[in-house]
Structure 1
Amino acid sequence: MWTKRFQCGGRESALLDCRSSSSTRNTCSPGKAVGLTCSEPVRLVGGDSRCAGTLEVKHQGQWRPVRHSDWSLKTTAVVCRELDCGSAVSVRESIRPPASPVWKIRSSCFQSGYALRDCVSPDVSIYLLDLTCSDSVRLVNGTSLCSGRLEVKSDQSNQSWSSVCEADFDQQDAEVVCRELGCGAPSVLQGALYGEAEAPMWTKEFQCGGHESALLDCRSSGSTRNTCSPGKAVGLTCSEPVRLVGGDSRCAGTLELKHQGQWKPVSYSDWSLKTAAVVCRELDCGSAVSVREREESSDRSVWWIRSNCVQSGSALRDCGMSADFPFILNLTCLGKTSSS
C-alpha cells in the first residue's frame, strides 16, 4: 500500500507533483483501497435543448466536435442514454467549412461496448455530426427504437424517469409520443409488453388531443394515481413505414422510409440482394430480385442505411442517418405469390 497521504490542491497535472504528508501509514483496512471513476465529458451544443445539437467530446482536456462517419440512430441511442436524454430521434451530417480539428469516433467501436474516449482518434474535417434525442419521453427494452415501455421525465419528478400506467394513456396520447420520437403511427398499445415497470410511476392521466408535438404539451388530469396494477405499465410500438414507389407494382421501385413525418428515399451504398430480402419480407413481397443504383442530377436529402446493420436484425430506421447524396436505391421484389 502507498504509505503517505496525498495533499493535492487539485490544479496539479500529475499526482506525484502533489505535496504529501511526512507521516507514513503502514496499514489500510480491508476494502478501503481507492476505487475511482473519471467522467468522460460529452455534450450536444447549438441545438434547441441540451438533448440536441453538434456532438462534442472532451479528450486530453480539449472539447472538439465529432466528425460524421458511419453513425446511425442505433449508435446515437448510446449517446442519448449517456446524457440521460430520451430516445434517439435523428442523426445527420452538417457541413461547416473551413476544415478544423475534430474527433473521429468509429461507430462499430462505440457500439461494441467501449467508451467514447476509447474510440477517439484526431482528424480534420468539415463534416460534423448533429444529433437529436427526445427531451422527456423514451421507449425502453423494446425490439427497436420505436418500441418499448414508455417512460416520462419532467422537472416535477426530480428529473427521474417514470413509467406510465395503461389506464392513464390512450391512442391519442400514443400518437403524440410516436410523433415526438420521429416514428410512424402507433400500431400496438399494450401493458407489460416490454417488461414490468419499476417505481416510480407517473401520477397523472394524460389528456392529449393527438395533434400536440410533445407529450408534456398535453393537458393532464388534476387527480393523481399512487398505484398501478402489475403488468399495466404502458408498452408502445410505433410503426416504421417503408415503401417502394415509382415501379411497375408496389413490390418494385425506389425504397423510401418515413421519418419525422417525411418520406425520404434510401441512398445506394453497400446493399446486396441479401439485405434487400429483408425489405421484401417486410413488405410481404416475396424474394428479392434486383438491387440497383439510380443517379439523380444533384444531391438530395436521403436515408443512408448500412447493409450490415439491417442484416444483423436491426430495424431499418435504427440503421439509418440523414445525409445528402445523389445515388438512390431501387429494389425489385418477386411480388407476393398466390397460394394454389
Structure 2
Amino acid sequence: GRVEVKQQGKWGTVCGHYWSMKNAAVVCKQLDCGSAVEAPQYGEFGPGSGPIWMDDVGCNGTESALSDCTHGGWGEHDCVHILDAGVVCSGAVEVRLADGGRRCAGRVEVKQQGKWGTVCGHYWSMKNAAVVCKQLGCGSAVEAPQYGHFGPGSGPIWMDDVGCNGTESELSGSAQGQLSPCQRHQK
C-alpha cells in the first residue's frame, strides 16, 4: 500500500522522489511484513491526503525504522500527493521445526496462505539454518541437514533455492507459492 507516517499526531505521506527498494526494505522490516518485493514510486496506490511528511528519503536498508533514514526534513518537500510512495512486502512467514523431537530441531516448515508446508533442501546451508534458529529464538545453528534427515513432510513445498546471508532476522521473501518440483527424500 501507500506509505504513511505519523508525525505531530497527524498521518501523512512520503514522497516518491528517490524512493528505492532499500527504503521499502526498511518499511517492511518496521511493519514485520517480510521483505520488500516492490517499491512503487509514483502514486500506484492512489494519492494520500494530509501533510507530505517526508521527501528525498535515503535508507541504506539496515535501519530499523523509516524515521532513521535521511530525508529533507519533516514536512519539507517539493512534492504532490499523486507522487506518494508505496511498498509491496512479501508478508511475514511463520516458521516451525517438525519431527525433531524438540522445539529447536527438525524439518523446516513454513506457513503461507494458511497452510503449513516445507522448504526444499536445494542449496540449504548453515546460513539459512542460522536465520531459522534466530527467528525461532533457538540460539545458534549447529547443523543444516539438507535432504529429508527428519523425514518427508506433507503439504506444499513453499520455498526452494533459499539463499540467506545469515544476518536476516527471518526466513521470508520467496514463500509465495508452490515454487518447486523438489522431491521429498526419505531419511
Give the TM-score, by structure 1 length: 0.30
Select which of 147, 151, 154 maps to 1:330: 154
Select which of 172, 183, 203 maps to 2:33: 183
Q: 1:164 to 1:300 in 2, by over 3 A?
A: same
Match of 1:296 in 2: 100
Q: What 5-or-longer segments of structure 1 have no aligned partner?
A: 1-147, 242-256, 267-293, 312-321
**8 Å CA contact retained: 2:23, 2:59:** yes
SS of 2:50's partner is: coil
Match of 1:151 in 2: 4
**8 Å CA contact retained: 1:187, 1:237:** yes
For 2:60 and 2:36, locate their aligned partners in 1 and report how far apart those are by CA, in whole Å.
Answer: 15
**CA deviation after TM superposition for structure 1 residue 179, in Å:** 1.7
Select which of 61, 72, 77 maps to 1:225: 77
The residue type paired with residue 68 of structure 2 is D
Correspondence list, 1:218-257, <5 A: 218-222=69-73, 224-225=76-77, 227-228=79-80, 230-240=81-91, 257=93
Correspondence list, 1:50-65, <5 A: none
**8 Å CA contact retained: 1:165, 1:233:** yes
**CA deviation after TM superposition for structure 1 residue 304, in Å:** 8.8
Match of 1:196 in 2: 47
Select which of 250, 262, 265 maps to 2:96: 265
**8 Å CA contact retained: 1:207, 1:221:** no
For 1:180 and 1:332, locate their aligned partners in 2 and report how far apart those are by CA, in whole Å.
Answer: 29
**CA deviation after TM superposition for structure 1 residue 235, in Å:** 1.6
**CA deviation after TM superposition for structure 1 residue 199, in Å:** 1.7
For 2:110 and 2:21, locate their aligned partners in 1 and report how far apart those are by CA, in whole Å.
Answer: 31
Correspondence list, 1:1-340, <5 A: 148-153=1-6, 157-190=7-40, 191-222=42-73, 224-225=76-77, 227-228=79-80, 230-240=81-91, 257=93, 264-265=95-96, 295-300=99-104, 310=114, 330-331=154-155
For 1:188 and 1:205, locate their aligned partners in 2 and report how far apart those are by CA, in whole Å.
Answer: 18
Instruction: Kindly report structure 1 stretches of 4+ aligned residues shifted beyond 6 Å.
Output: 301-304
Q: 1:303 to 1:163 in 2, by over 3 A?
A: farther
Q: 1:234 to 1:161 in 2, by over 3 A?
A: same
Task: Tell me which moved more, 295-304 or 194-203.
Answer: 295-304
For 1:201 and 1:220, locate their aligned partners in 2 and report how far apart those are by CA, in whole Å.
Answer: 12
Q: Whose strand proportion is higher, 1 or 2?
A: 1
The residue type paired with residue 96 of structure 2 is P
Q: 1:300 to 1:195 in 2, by over 3 A?
A: farther
Question: How many residues get paired?
Answer: 123
**CA deviation after TM superposition for structure 1 residue 203, in Å:** 4.2
Q: What 5-or-longer segments of structure 2 have no aligned partner?
A: 116-134, 138-151, 158-177, 182-187
Match of 2:132 in 1: none
**8 Å CA contact retained: 1:207, 1:218:** yes
- % identical equivalent positions: 25
Q: 1:210 to 1:297 in 2, by over 3 A?
A: same
**CA deviation after TM superposition for structure 1 residue 196, in Å:** 2.2
SS of 2:67's partner is: helix
For 1:265 and 1:331, locate their aligned partners in 2 and report how far apart those are by CA, in whole Å.
Answer: 14
Give the TM-score, by structure 2 length: 0.50
Q: 1:219 to 1:160 in 2, by over 3 A?
A: same
Please say which structure displays the higher CA radius of gyration: 1
**8 Å CA contact retained: 2:21, 2:38:** no
> Alignment RMSD, CA only?
3.8
**CA deviation after TM superposition for structure 1 residue 233, in Å:** 0.9
Deviations 1:111-167 (A, max 9, x none): xxxxxxxxxxxxxxxxxxxxxxxxxxxxxxxxxxxxx111112xxx32211111111
